[in-house]
Amino acid sequence: MTDERSRFETRLTHLGRPPVRSHGFVNTPVHRGSTVLQPSSQARIDNSKRRFERVMTYGTQGGPTHYALEDVVAAIEGGTHCTIVGTGLAAVAVPLLAFLKAGDHCLMPDSVYGPARGLAEGMMTGWGIETTFYPPTTTAEALAPLFQPNTRVLYLESPGSHTFEMQDVPALAALAHARGAVAMIDNTWGIHHFQPFAKGCDVSIQALTKYVGGHSDILLGSVTVNSEAHHLKVRGAASAMGHYASPDDCWLALRGARTMAVRLKHQEQAGLEVARWLQARPEVARILHPAMPEDPGHAIWKRDFTGACSLFGVLFQPRYTEADIFRFVDGLTLFGIGASWGGFESLALPTNPSVQRSVSPPLPGQAVRLHVGLEQTADLIADLDQALRLLPR
Ligand SMILES: *Cc1c(COP(=O)(O)O)cnc(C)c1O
């Protein structure tokens, strides 16, 4: 374990809890409310001008529980300001709409989280914002010709949703800046293992629903930036559209954050153990996991990340049909079938039905996305072993 990772555990224990704010209580309590009483009519006007600077004037601008979580997320990603919104998808939509307007152009990787593609191809098109999809593993040289004079956002996600391609973020973010565009990344897989601002990004998105929540019982998203100007843009857009997150969910996310380092450390190792076991199986063609030395994105992962989470893909031999793979997944007893990830429990999801591609080749076979939880790893492997026997010989 590197120094940076051990420091992270200490910081997660102490971040976002200045004692004065909570009258000495260890974790920030839930502060609920719509009305915030103001000391005078003039103070109300003055305070309202500073509402994006945590001067509380109305519940929609957030309160102490939101701010505590914002401080935790901004610190773990190395940003200066964070805005909490109701879901991870809202955290994707808010900065896209903050930085793009009619007539602008956006670049998105082909491996992007499906609903982000849906937003770009649907509502954003309706508002006059054009999006071009690019191959996720592109070099900066190959991406350069896709920039237009009106390109304002380069969207990144590394590794990609479902297919786990690694992106050369520092090179691509530098290209975006040279072309006057903002580099925006979905860092949900990276969590604290990838430091988006140190690698040249301007905006970082996280679905806190995943490992920060950690218990599959909340939805929450964050948008982190590293400048006051970008903060005002993001906070202004979230406020204009009425985005808000429940303080109860923020409180649960703060609770989740306190144990996240321990959970992640266990799940990273358990995930790799399961991945290595699967890699040796004759039914499996390849593991889609950048922390595996055989993965084509491993060199980038090793250069840019300090660790991994426990979400990865399993690409099966091409002889298996979708029906075979459904039988395998349905035969698992410890892995639930469901969307989302980052909780304490293991999940399996057939990948191909969710993968959409416009400029890169489809997966060369059936795939399954696995999320490895906190169960005993030997039990998970035994479950996979019995379900693999359901595949045709
Ligand atoms: C889950 C997820 C989101 C969306 O989060 P929700 O809270 O479920 O809306 C965004 N990006 C990635 C990469 C995700 O996996």
> What are the Cα distances from residue 373, in Å, to 25, 208, 310, 334, 337?
31, 16, 8, 10, 13
Tell me 168's DSSP state.
-
- C-beta of 76 in contact with ligand 1 (< 6 A): no
List for the chain the helix, strand, coil content (%; round to 5): 40, 15, 45
Confidence label for 6 from pLDDT (cuts 50, 70 and 90): low
pTM of the model: 0.96
The atom number, within ligand 1, closest to the CA of 210 reads 1
- C-beta of 113 in contact with ligand 1 (< 6 A): yes
Per-residue pLDDT, 17: 83
Q: How far is the CA of 219 from the centre of ligand 1 (A)?
A: 9
- C-beta of 88 in contact with ligand 1 (< 6 A): yes
**Rounded-to-integer distance, Cα 338 and Cα 373, Å:** 13
Two tokens at 156? 């990144």
Per-residue pLDDT, 7: 85
**Rounded-to-integer distance, Cα 102 and Cα 220, Å:** 28
Per-residue pLDDT, 329: 98
> How large is the average pLDDT for residues 137-142?
98
Residue of minimum CA distance from atom 7 in ligand 1: 88
* Per-residue pLDDT tens over the stretch 151-182: 999 999 999 999 999 999 999 999 999 999 99
Three-state DSSP class for 182? Answer: strand
> How large is the average pLDDT for residues 185-202?
98
Q: How far is the CA of 386 from the centre of ligand 1 (A)?
A: 31
Confidence label for 5 from pLDDT (cuts 50, 70 and 90): low
> How large is the average pLDDT for residues 349-367?
93
Confidence label for 25 from pLDDT (cuts 50, 70 and 90): confident
The atom number, within ligand 1, closest to the CA of 220 reads 7
Q: Is 1 a residue whose pLDDT tops 60?
A: no
* Per-residue pLDDT tens over the stretch 196-206: 999 999 999 99
Two tokens at 139? 């070099």
> What are the Cα distances from residue 367, in Å, to 11, 25, 240?
37, 47, 41
**Rounded-to-integer distance, Cα 298 and Cα 245, Å:** 36
Q: Is 3 a residue whose pLDDT tops 60?
A: no
* Per-residue pLDDT tens over the stretch 250-284: 999 999 999 999 999 999 999 999 999 999 999 99
Our mutation pick for probing the ligand 1 site, out of 208, 209, 355, counting the most ligand atoms within 8 A of Cβ, is: 209
**Rounded-to-integer distance, Cα 265 and Cα 269, Å:** 6
Residue of minimum CA distance from atom 10 in ligand 1: 88
> How large is the average pLDDT for residues 216-232?
98
Full set of structural domains in the chain with CATH: 8-255 (3.40.640.10), 260-388 (3.90.1150.10)
Which regions of 192-263 does DSSP assign to beta strands (E)?
203-207, 221-225
Q: How far is the CA of 215 from the centre of ligand 1 (A)?
A: 15
Per-residue pLDDT, 21: 73
Crossing angle of helices 114-121 and 88-99, rounded to 10°: 40
- C-beta of 207 in contact with ligand 1 (< 6 A): yes
